[in-house]
């Protein structure tokens, strides 16, 4: 009997050890993907000028992906072919000018199908976005900023501490606002909104107004709740503007002009279109626009840089990455922020932003939502 007992013990111990190893492995894996998400919110440039950490993060996501879509890979190769052709025909033939657009296409064929992996990356994004928001609040408190107008026009005040400060960070904050709204996390939504405003970009403010409209439309039957929420956010926006110590009367016109003018965008669109018409088939290569540097529109950027053929393949990749998997009605905020960052910015040329968009479409895709419900 003793021998049998020992044998039983011998059979049980390995099971306990294997279970312990699996638990430790899962914890390490969760930590790794959480840190991965933290870094995604920080567009870190490596030692080589123009080379970003996000390149290697996207490659890692692709390698970790178990099932790879053959159709997406074919579309990516078609897009890459015309990027190479346009770059070789252009005046800016450098390795970085070739790597950047190809990686933009490569990011579109990545999907995150592991639910736990996606949630860990999302948690890392929440942590990083909140920390960056509080960091900007601290930094602005240390500045000698006399008015709201100065804050909105002094776009370099945080660059020494936050090297990725600017429109790219504003895009990421705006997308995290959509995440927080989707998951009904009001505190995080407000934190991300404040952080986004401090980037001095208009995008977070437009995102806020857009989400408020969606919220009102969804709560049309509950007028009291919708009105109270709307009044709160209106006061949050208007009090600083009409505080005489923070908004001198002689600066009001400057603030209003900064928030409402669109002449700069319309002009750069015209410049980009003129560049596109010069070579509509293969584009102008990676040549930058005079004065504006880029088109402030992702679709125009691809069109004038790499031509119509590359644009067709790129649009196919975008459709498969973001439009094929999500229910439009349930994700209106996502599609509106997608429109904002692609039509008024070159947000789809921001690799970190593409990863966040991919993460959203992976978490809230119809297939994943149905599996969770089951």
pTM: 0.82
124: tokens are 């890392």
pLDDT in tens, 230-287: 555 555 555 554 444 444 444 445 445 555 555 577 778 888 888 888 889 988 876 6
Collapsing DSSP states into helix, strand and coil, what is residue 45? Answer: strand
Task: Name every residue whose Cβ is closer than 8 Å to that of residue 120 and which is 6 or more positions away in sequence.
Answer: 29, 30, 33, 34, 36, 37
Q: Can you spell out the DSSP letters for 17-50? A: HHHHHHHHHHHHHHHHHHHHHHHHTS--B-SSTT
Flag residues of the chain having pLDDT under 50. 1-10, 12, 241-252, 254-255, 369-374
Which residue intervals of 243-349 are DSSP H helices? Answer: 252-260, 263-278, 298-318, 332-343
């Amino acid at each position: 009997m003793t021998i049998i007992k020992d044998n039983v013990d011998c059979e049980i111990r390995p099971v306990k050890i294997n279970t312990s190893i699996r638990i430790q492995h899962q914890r390490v894996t969760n930590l790794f993907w959480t840190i991965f998400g933290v870094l995604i919110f920080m567009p870190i440039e490596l030692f080589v000028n123009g080379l970003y950490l996000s390149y290697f993060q996207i490659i890692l996501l692709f390698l970790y992906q178990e099932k790879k879509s053959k159709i997406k890979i074919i579309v990516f190769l078609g897009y890459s072919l015309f990027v190479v052709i346009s770059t070789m025909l252009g005046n800016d033939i450098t390795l970085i000018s070739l790597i950047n657009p190809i990686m933009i296409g490569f990011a579109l064929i990545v999907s995150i199908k592991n639910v736990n992996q996606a949630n860990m990356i999302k948690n890392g994004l929440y942590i990083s976005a909140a920390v960056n928001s509080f960091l900007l609040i601290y930094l602005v408190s240390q500045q000698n900023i006399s008015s709201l107008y100065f804050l909105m026009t002094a776009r370099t005040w945080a660059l020494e501490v936050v090297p990725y400060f600017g429109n790219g960070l504003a895009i990421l904050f705006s997308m995290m606002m959509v995440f927080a709204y989707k998951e009904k996390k009001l505190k995080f939504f407000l934190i991300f909104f404040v952080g986004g405003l401090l980037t001095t970009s208009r995008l977070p403010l437009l995102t806020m107004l857009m989400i408020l409209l969606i919220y009102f439309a969804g709560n049309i039957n509950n007028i009291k709740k919708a009105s109270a929420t709307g009044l709160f956010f209106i006061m949050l926006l208007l009090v600083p503007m009409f505080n005489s110590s923070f908004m001198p009367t002689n600066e009001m016109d400057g603030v209003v002009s900064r928030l409402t003018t669109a002449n700069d965008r319309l002009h750069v669109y015209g410049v980009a279109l003129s560049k596109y018409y010069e070579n509509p088939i293969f584009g102008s290569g990676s040549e930058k626009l005079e004065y504006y540097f880029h088109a402030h529109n992702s679709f125009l950027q691809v069109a004038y840089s790499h031509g119509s053929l590359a644009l067709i393949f790129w649009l196919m990749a975008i459709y498969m990455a973001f439009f094929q998997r999500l229910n439009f009605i349930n994700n209106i905020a996502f599609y509106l922020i997608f429109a904002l960052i692609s039509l008024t910015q070159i947000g789809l040329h921001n690799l970190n932003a593409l990863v966040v968009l991919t993460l959203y479409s992976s978490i809230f895709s119809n297939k994943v939502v149905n599996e969770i419900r089951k």
